A = this chain, B = another copy of it.
């Protein structure tokens, strides 16, 4: 299958930061040509005249199964929300429920231009099947913890899934994730690290999210979370830290020049009263920063375009320095930096020949965002869902001209979700 996207303004996010009107030829799953006036035979042409083309956005921290918990965090701090709201509700979810919840999240991502996500949730085949059926690119990870005494069962469950699925779908890769240092024993944290090293997997953990976590780790280990990770050897592995709200200047020295990325989740961190991560300092120290939405329960939505505006504005406002960050830096965080964080930068994160065809097309001609004086600034701050026209993942057109092309009956999905909500009771 050859698809030609003609005449769009391509924001490549390549090494030269090229932004240029070009044709893009997709052959099967790959970008094969990028340049002026492609004239070969193709199966389908998408006219992108006056449109803007971006690499699909990459969401490096989410919990797809939480789509039904949107709006539940209002007025709750992190631990209150988890202990008294979310965890009791999640106990009532069946694997089939997770299928529908994941499907709903995947549709939200496709409609809002995200083509890759890192999902951390229960380890159930139904969850993975929803992701596979959605044809989205995903780094999948079962959220491991042993504070309920069931740590080994969770590891077994994860390894079973990993071994079953690792070669089944080119869009699906795996990461080993521990929920956090406050929900895992020291020995368990070491065990998961070993598992990750043995299987050459990305390690993934919620880290330094709020002040209670810092205090808990300090009390138990007399260390900061980052110092503890260092002792555990995590900083020697390929590691993705979610949040990093409370990372200190001393911690940053430990993180520098390591294979560590930080998934910044601005909306979730604000919503739960956690604070604002010092990502400008991370950037200054060459620590890779990517962006996550977190689940809808705390992040409100999976529309990454909503979240990137916060990334930019929070740094400017919180540091009282309008020059501390640029829109283009933020757009890189949501694309190529995300790919790096997930170990997928050889495949996605930019529009380049040889990369996989994960591409979105924006129509920015609507009168309400006219005129565009500063393209990248407008992409970061002024894109609504009605500007996101077409989403292509691995060469599959999953949305075209705002029409979802996935084989899902939306009314049935809504009914299934409503039934789950009825079953689990008041949320």
A427 an interface residue at 8 Å Cβ cutoff?
Answer: yes
Asked if A261 is at the interface of the complex by the 8 Å CB criterion, the answer is no
B-side contacts of A252, CB under 8 Å: none
Q: How far is the CA of A148 from the CA of B68 in the complex (A)?
A: 57
Chain B residues positioned under 8 Å from A300 (CB to CB): 309, 381-382
- B70 and A320: CB pair below 8 A? no
A317 touches B368 (CB 8 A): no
Q: Does B414 contact A370, Cβ atoms closer than 8 Å?
A: yes
Q: Which of B107, B314, B321 contacts A368 (CB 8 A)?
A: B107
Q: Which residues of B contact A81 (CB under 8 A)?
A: 322
Q: Which residues does chain B contribute within 8 Å of A401, judged by CB atoms?
A: none
Q: Is the CB of A211 within 8 A of B104?
A: no
Taking the closest CB of chain B, its distance from the CB of A32, in whole angstroms, is 32
The oligomer's copy count stands at 2
Interface residue A236 (Cβ < 8 Å from any Cβ of B): no
Known: A313-B271, A369-B301. A384 touches B382 (CB 8 A): no
Instruction: Pick from B104, B211, B326: contact of A320, CB below 8 A.
Output: B211
Task: Please tell me if A233 contacts chain B, counting CB pairs below 8 Å.
Answer: no
CA of A349 to CA of B35, assembled, Å? 54
A270–B322 alpha-carbon span in the complex (Å) = 8
Contact of A378 among B71, B271, B323, B367 (CB under 8 A): B71
Chain B residues lying within 8 Å of A112, measured Cβ to Cβ, are 368
CB distance from A36 to the nearest CB of B (A): 26
Contacting residues of chain A (288-334) with chain B, CB-CB under 8 angstroms: 300-301, 303, 306, 309-310, 313-314, 316-324, 326-327
- Say how far A423's CB is from chain B's closest CB, in angstroms: 13
Residues in chain B near residue A310, CB distance under 8 A: 310, 313
A326 near B371 with CB under 8 A, answer no
Instruction: Give chain B nearest CB distance to A318 CB in angstroms.
Output: 7
CB of A72 closer than 8 Å to a CB of B = yes
CA distance A139 to B333 in the complex (A): 41
Q: Across the interface, do B369 and A74 meet the contact criterion of CB distance under 8 Å? A: no
Report B-chain residues with C-beta under 8 Å of the C-beta of A382.
70, 300-301
B74 touches A267 (CB 8 A): no
Chain B nearest Cβ from A304, distance in angstroms? 12
Give 6 nearest A-B pairs by CB, closest first.
A270-B317, A71-B374, A273-B322, A270-B313, A71-B377, A71-B373
Interface residues of A (CB under 8 A from B): 68-78, 80-81, 104, 107-108, 111-112, 211, 267, 269-276, 300-301, 303, 306, 309-310, 313-314, 316-324, 326-327, 367-374, 377-378, 381-382, 384-386, 410, 413-414, 417-418, 421, 427
